[in-house]
Amino acid sequence: MSRFTYTAQKTGGEIYKGIVEAVDRFELYNVVRSEGAHIIAVEEDRSQNFWRLSFWEARIGFISEYEKILFARNLGAMLSAGLALARALSVLERQSRNPRVSSILSQIESGVRHGEALHIALGKFPGIFSKLFVSMVRAGEEGGSLPDSLSVISEQTERMYILKKKVRGALVYPSVVILAMIGIGILMMTNVVPSLAHTFAEMNVDLPVSTRVIVAISNFLVEYAAFALLLAIGIGAAAWAAARTNRGKRVGDYIFLHTPIIGSLVQEVNSARTARTLSSLLASGVDVLTSLDITGEVVQNAYFREVIVSAGKAVRQGETMSSMFIKREDLYPAFVGEMMAVGEETGQSAEMLRRLAAFYEDEVDRKTKDMSTIIEPFLMIIIGSGVGFFALAMITPIYQMTENI
């Protein structure tokens, strides 16, 4: 397949540009002719060279969540304005400054021009477009409301993106403080403690246990610095690899869920994500069972995912979706199950879930804004305890020295 950039003119006189992947120029002419236009100018793109940076950027470049939001929003707007799907994809491809996005849009456009449905073309890139994204597009195509579905997708993705940014932003302050404390501790161990340890040795001071522990750690860091660095990297790599296993993820989920302050935030984040995803899928016309299956993949915490899977089994057995959420009030707040039950009774599940999602998103927003204020006293206690232990361990031998003088 080659990529061609062309300029064409419609029978009404309108001139437009496009980019198409085709076997050769003859296929390109046939594609444009089928759209009721004729080629004015065409140029083959020869930039796809193995040694060019653009070649690798188009294949391994990073696509952000924000770019996916823009794609869904702009494509929906263009379709609402009356542009043909292939034409809209071509315009988005030319507008994109990300080579990876342009390459994927080109392949999607090529698939659409060859008769594929949009959701099938998107489904070829599971690492880029989630099952949620593809399913909502499919529902829009089958229901004849693709622009509306794309609008819902962009809103859903944007809200989840904002929620994720708020949670990460709330964790920045404590993370920076902890890393700074570790860095200062390493500097003290490698620069200050060796000098004091040398003085203690010359004065033949009887060191307490706490001081001997600190001196031993300091000697290890100084004498085996390279090994200590490799050991730290190894422990970090092992922890990262373990966290990616199913058991490791489950342990991590348990720790976050039962950590003071953070635990309640985890509950509300997962409640908001569950409600928002279910609401978007149900509003787009996706059936309840498929919506629960997709939501189970979107929710990352294993314990909350189990509740969603159980809800799917309950629905298959003729029970209500809300029944399982009501039974697991230790994970999902009681308000979640009650709102779901009301939605099922009134036939307005999508609307009730949307309100539920908005409520918990506001709660998460409020808590993340206050997070630094809430966590600060705990950080001060931890830092004070560390500094106090270090000071006591190093000052006690100094007092002994002054008494012996």
Q: Is residue 136 a part of any domain in this protein?
A: no
- What value does the CA radius of gyration of the chain take, rounded to a whole number of Å? 30
SS3 letters for the chain?
CEEEEEEEEECCCCEEEEEEEECCHHHHHHHHHHCCEEEEEEEECCCCCCCCHHHHHHHHCCCCHHHHHHHHHHHHHHHHCCCCHHHHHHHHHHHCCCHHHHHHHHHHHHHHHCCCCHHHHHHCCCCCCCHHHHHHHHHHHHHCCHHHHHHHHHHHHHHHHHHHHHHHHHHHHHHHHHHHHHHHHHHHHHHHHHHHHHHHHHHCCCCCHHHHHHHHHHHHHHHCHHHHHHHHHHHHHHHHHHHCCHHHHHHHHHHHHCCCCHHHHHHHHHHHHHHHHHHHHHHCCCCHHHHHHHHHHHCCCHHHHHHHHHHHHHHHCCCCCHHHHHHCCCCCCHHHHHHHHHHHHHCCHHHHHHHHHHHHHHHHHHHHHHHHHHHHHHHHHHHHHHHHHHHHHHHHHHHHHHHHC
Q: Is residue 84 a part of any domain in this protein?
A: no
Q: Is residue 94 a part of any domain in this protein?
A: no
164 and 27 within one domain: no
168 and 27 within one domain: no
Considering 12, 30, 46, which residue would you say is the last residue of a domain? 46
**CATH code assigned at 284:** 1.20.81.30
Q: Is residue 203 a part of any domain in this protein?
A: yes
pLDDT at 379: 80
The answer to whether 89 and 109 are in contact (CB under 8 A) is yes
Predicted TM-score (pTM) of this structure: 0.69
The distance from CA 64 to its chain's CA centroid, rounded to whole angstroms, is: 9
353 and 218 within one domain: yes
Name, in order, each residue with C-beta under 8 angstroms of 397's C-beta and a sequence gap of 6 or more.
Answer: 196, 200, 205, 207, 208, 211
166 and 24 within one domain: no
Q: Is residue 351 a part of any domain in this protein?
A: yes
The answer to whether 74 and 92 are in contact (CB under 8 A) is yes
Q: Is residue 227 a part of any domain in this protein?
A: yes
Name, in order, each residue with C-beta under 8 angstroms of 271's C-beta and a sequence gap of 6 or more.
Answer: 332, 333, 336, 356, 360
174 and 42 within one domain: no
The answer to whether 203 and 401 are in contact (CB under 8 A) is yes
Q: Is residue 151 a part of any domain in this protein?
A: no
Q: Is residue 106 a part of any domain in this protein?
A: no
pLDDT, mean of each 10-residue run, the chain (405 residues): 73 75 71 77 60 51 80 89 84 80 82 84 85 83 82 82 80 83 87 84 80 88 88 90 85 86 85 88 85 85 90 89 88 89 89 90 82 77 85 80 65
The domain of 7 spans: 1-46
The answer to whether 315 and 289 are in contact (CB under 8 A) is yes
What's the domain count of the chain?
Answer: 2
